[in-house]
Amino acid sequence: MENKQVAISNFGGPEVLVMQTTEVPQPKAGEVLVKVAFASVNPIDVKTRAGLGWAAAQNKDKLPWVPGYDISGRVMATGEQATRFVVGDNVAGFIGFPLQGGGYSQYICVAESELSRVPDSVTLEAAAALPVAGQTAAQALNQAQVKEGDCVLILAGAGGVGHLAVQIALAAKAEVYTTCSEDNLDYLATLGAHAINYNFAPVSQRLEKIDVLIDLVGGDAALDALKCLSDNARVVTVPTITAELICEKAKLLGFEASGILVDPNPEQLDTMLYMVSVGLLKIEIFQVYPLTEADKAHQQIETGHTRGKVLLDMKC
């Protein structure tokens, strides 16, 4: 049996994503072998492939490197002392973060402590879409201590993280405002948010008295959104590149502000998979690409206008 993977041997554009074939790995103690059904593509995969950010700096002498932190699939074998799962179980996880990655593989060995069981009523597509984006959304809202009745502004509500953040904030009974382009106004209104077209006018001219800002865009959009906040507002800014700038400006204006680095947490993923299974969270899949078209999946993420999530289908 062979194991096809997409790897990078040098940093660069989407064309550096190349198929390679290795042996199927054997699970070590505490690990299970997963036949990956779907992997999701996150902006961090794209940035690392381009040689940007911490994961790229740490991996530059360890190429070829296989990207991918989000997987779903089926347990094919269990290593010694791996007792949580049996062969045939469907699992999902936020794996190998931040240095190892490896999700763009047909087979991968994963510590069973990094995995969650996928309920029968949740598709493997939805399960692969959820880990990084869902946990970033949940952790950003937790960090901002969003509670019932808060007016929450989420910049980029239509994206991978945003569409989940909108739904989790609504489930917490917050009043949710969110920015998007015209194409996504109806989609976000259907989820129950007040959707605001950022191309029409700056959000600062449209909103006031916001209690919590969840910034998924950074830069000028975030600086503008600081003008909509009430006294004592809380700000969590998610894109790492501009986090320091946004936090500095927010604190000068008297707000509580922090950046975030998502932290894999399988128990939190269990909860989110349960929310999907009972219909409290609806996962939006923009497109599923075959593994052989990982370059096209990266190009789509690079447009900056993906609604929901992009997946790789590992069958090829």
Ligand X SMILES: NC(=O)c1ccc[n+]([C@@H]2O[C@H](COP(=O)([O-])OP(=O)(O)OC[C@H]3O[C@@H](n4cnc5c(N)ncnc54)[C@H](OP(=O)(O)O)[C@@H]3O)[C@@H](O)[C@H]2O)c1
Positions that interact with ligand X (CB under 6 A): 42-44, 132-133, 136, 155-156, 158-162, 179-181, 183-184, 198, 216-217, 221, 238-240, 260-262, 301, 304-307
Nearer to ligand X, 118 or 297 (CB): 297
Cα distance between residue 184 and residue 297, in whole Å? 20
Cα distance between residue 203 and residue 206, in whole Å? 5
Q: What backbone phi and psi angles, to 5 degrees, belong to 236?
A: -125, 120
**Helix 131-143 vs helix 266-277: angle between axes, to the nearest 10 degrees?**
100
Question: What is the smallest separation between the CB atom of 141 and ligand X, expressed in angstroms?
Answer: 13
Nearer to ligand X, 36 or 216 (CB): 216
Question: What is the smallest separation between the CB atom of 18 and ligand X, expressed in angstroms?
Answer: 23
Question: What is the smallest separation between the CB atom of 311 and ligand X, expressed in angstroms?
Answer: 12
Question: What is the smallest separation between the CB atom of 316 and ligand X, expressed in angstroms?
Answer: 24
Nearer to ligand X, 240 or 271 (CB): 240
DSSP of 197-211: ETTTS-GGGT---EE
Residue 196 β-bridge partners: 179
Q: Report angle CA 157, 166, 41 to the nearest 5 degrees.
A: 60
Question: What is the smallest separation between the CB atom of 183 and ligand X, expressed in angstroms?
Answer: 6
Q: Residue with structure tokens 């953040």?
A: 165
Closest chain position to ligand X (CB) = 159
Question: What is the smallest separation between the CB atom of 175 and ligand X, expressed in angstroms?
Answer: 18
Nearer to ligand X, 98 or 119 (CB): 98
Nearer to ligand X, 19 or 261 (CB): 261
Q: Are 214 and 238 in contact (CB under 8 A)?
A: yes
Nearer to ligand X, 78 or 178 (CB): 178
Cα distances (angstroms) measured from residue 18 to each of 38, 132, 260: 18, 23, 31
Q: Residue with structure tokens 């919590």?
A: 212
Cα distances (angstroms) measured from residue 108 to each of 72, 87, 202: 11, 14, 45
